[in-house]
Chain A
Amino acid sequence: MSNIENLKTFDPFADAIKGSEEGVQDGFVHIRIQQRNGRKTLTTVQGLSSEYDLKKIVRACKKEFACNGTVVEHPEYGEVLQLQGDQRENICQWLTKTGLAKPAQLKVHGF
């Protein structure tokens, strides 16, 4: 029975579920910067798809940019990446290079 192709279970809504999960809102990846005390800054990356393992991403980023970083869970925005320092350009390039996000998806905020 199971070797008949047509009788395999097929979930017609698989794509829809996947689509809704892509980013928390409209698929954009928001990259923001926040000032801390003095010259210090913090870069946050919000809206990366939850399919990815953010912990692994942050590990790679930390190594690549030589900065510290963490993953923060937020009730509304899901998992958010935090990196120390102004890593906006770095993260933009890295995300496009690794193919985690398209350049059109990236939205950079801040000054």
Chain B
Amino acid sequence: MADPAVGTNSEIFDPSKEKKKKKKKVLDLDSVLLGSSSAAVDEEVVAEPVGVIPDTVEFGDGEPGAHDDILESLETFGSKKKKKKVKKIVLDEDVAAVIEEEIGVGGEEALDFDFTKKKKKKGAKGIDDLVAGEELEDETGEVQFNEGESPEKENAEVVNIPAPKTWLTSDRDYTYDELLTRVFEIMHAKNPEMASGTKQKFVMRPPQVVRIGTKKTSFVNFMEICKMLHRHQKHLLDFLLSELGTSGSIDGNNQLIIKGRFQQKQIENVLRRYIKEYVTCHTCRSPNTLLQKDFRLFFLQCEACGSRCSVASIKHGFQAVTGKRAAMRAKAN
């Protein structure tokens, strides 16, 4: 029984070996996560393997399994052990999947800015900002900027250390990485304030939003914010109304009355988008810009870097019928 059985077993379990390898990785993570506690569990298992909770047994068994990998490669273990391991794999994978998910989520938070996530983050940060410093800043811009910067910086360091300006001595062409690092070096040398944090705070007063009755919302300091952004109130008004998909007007006290219920956070989000598109320079992100209208097109002229680029015109787009159709028909006739 012994010889052929072992032979077939090893063949059968070939795919599971791959799994084991995967599992090994995960187990490493486990051990990292659990740290010394798993080791402690190990000892317990050795001491009294009967009265331990199955989960802990899993971990305990998994640990020596990982250590035995060398042995596995030599294929010198009995079939019993193998069977045990199969069980482990199934159970451990569940645990592993959970852990991987957790890690995956964590990693995504750091690296991947999915649209929905970004929005959530934005909202949360918005609250934080307001609570902390009573200021409104272009979070998305900053975040993106940092993201764009950091990997390149790392690159720069990596590339830079082995070969600092080697192209000066040789005849070969420059590589892209070298030129990139050179540009960043020069940029950081000339603008130390940018190099330090790559953060340009754009401080703004939060919009004061008050509900009027049940159906209308008032944006009290609308004029003030227009002045702060150096934009025509009509332009901002157009943008706000088209984004929110409602109607509204400016009343005698220079406040904006919007139809519909809106919270301050929501208005903030829209304002943030407006600032990103129509206020901050698309090249250098400086808020010191002018909006000019040439040949029916809006151009954003930056005062800081002198760049000039066209910005999207405000379109209202499709508006669904939300009111009473009978009333609309009566109005039309």
Chain B 227-260 near chain A by CB (<8 Å), digits 1 or 0? 0000000000000001111100000000000001
Verify B116–A92 contact, CB threshold 8 A: yes
CA distance A87 to B319 in the complex (A): 16
Given A108-B115, A110-B245, A111-B270, A46 and B322 contact (CB-CB distance below 8 Å): no
- Within the complex, the shortest CB–CB distance from A81 to chain B, in Å, comes to 10
Verify A35–B317 contact, CB threshold 8 A: no
Interface SS of chain A: strand
Does A62 touch B at the CB level, under 8 Å?
Answer: no
Chain A 76-111 near chain B by CB (<8 Å), digits 1 or 0? 010010100000010011000000000100101111
Verify A109–B115 contact, CB threshold 8 A: no
Verify B116–A35 contact, CB threshold 8 A: no
* Residues of chain B lying within 8 A (CB to CB) of residue A54: none
CA distance A62 to B320 in the complex (A): 18
Does B262 touch A at the CB level, under 8 Å?
Answer: yes
Chain B 301-333 near chain A by CB (<8 Å), digits 1 or 0? 000000000000001011110100000000000
Verify B260–A93 contact, CB threshold 8 A: no
Verify B322–A32 contact, CB threshold 8 A: no
Given A108-B115, A110-B243, A110-B244, A72 and B320 contact (CB-CB distance below 8 Å): yes
Does B261 touch A at the CB level, under 8 Å?
Answer: yes
* Residues of chain B lying within 8 A (CB to CB) of residue A103: 115
Verify B115–A82 contact, CB threshold 8 A: no
Verify A46–B116 contact, CB threshold 8 A: no
- Within the complex, the shortest CB–CB distance from B4 to chain A, in Å, comes to 49
- Within the complex, the shortest CB–CB distance from B115 to chain A, in Å, comes to 6
Verify B318–A32 contact, CB threshold 8 A: yes
Does A44 touch B at the CB level, under 8 Å?
Answer: yes
Given A34-B322, A35-B261, A46-B317, A111 and B116 contact (CB-CB distance below 8 Å): no
Verify B318–A89 contact, CB threshold 8 A: no
Verify A35–B320 contact, CB threshold 8 A: no
Chain B interface category by residue count:
20 to 34
Does A58 touch B at the CB level, under 8 Å?
Answer: no
Verify B116–A109 contact, CB threshold 8 A: no
Residue of A nearest to B262 (CB): A111
CA distance A80 to B245 in the complex (A): 15
* Residues of chain A lying within 8 A (CB to CB) of residue B263: 111
Given A44-B320, A106-B115, A108-B115, A35 and B246 contact (CB-CB distance below 8 Å): yes
Chain B 260-276 near chain A by CB (<8 Å), digits 1 or 0? 11110011011000000
Q: Which listed residue (B245, B262, B320) contacts A109, Cβ 8 A?
A: B245
Does A8 touch B at the CB level, under 8 Å?
Answer: no
Q: Which listed residue (B242, B260, B267, B269) contacts A35, Cβ 8 A?
A: B260
CA distance A33 to B245 in the complex (A): 7
Verify A42–B320 contact, CB threshold 8 A: yes
Given A30-B317, A35-B260, A103-B115, A111 and B269 contact (CB-CB distance below 8 Å): yes
Does A74 touch B at the CB level, under 8 Å?
Answer: yes
- Within the complex, the shortest CB–CB distance from B233 to chain A, in Å, comes to 20
Does A36 touch B at the CB level, under 8 Å?
Answer: yes
Other than the given A46-B318, A109-B317, 15 more pairs (CB < 8 A) read A32-B245, A34-B245, A34-B319, A35-B244, A42-B322, A44-B318, A72-B320, A74-B318, A82-B320, A92-B116, A103-B115, A110-B245, A111-B243, A111-B244, A111-B266
A-B contact pairs, 8 of them (CB 8 A): A42-B320, A44-B318, A72-B318, A77-B317, A109-B243, A110-B245, A111-B266, A111-B267
Which residues in B have some Cβ–Cβ distance to A below 8 Å? 115-116, 242-246, 260-263, 266-267, 269-270, 315, 317-320, 322
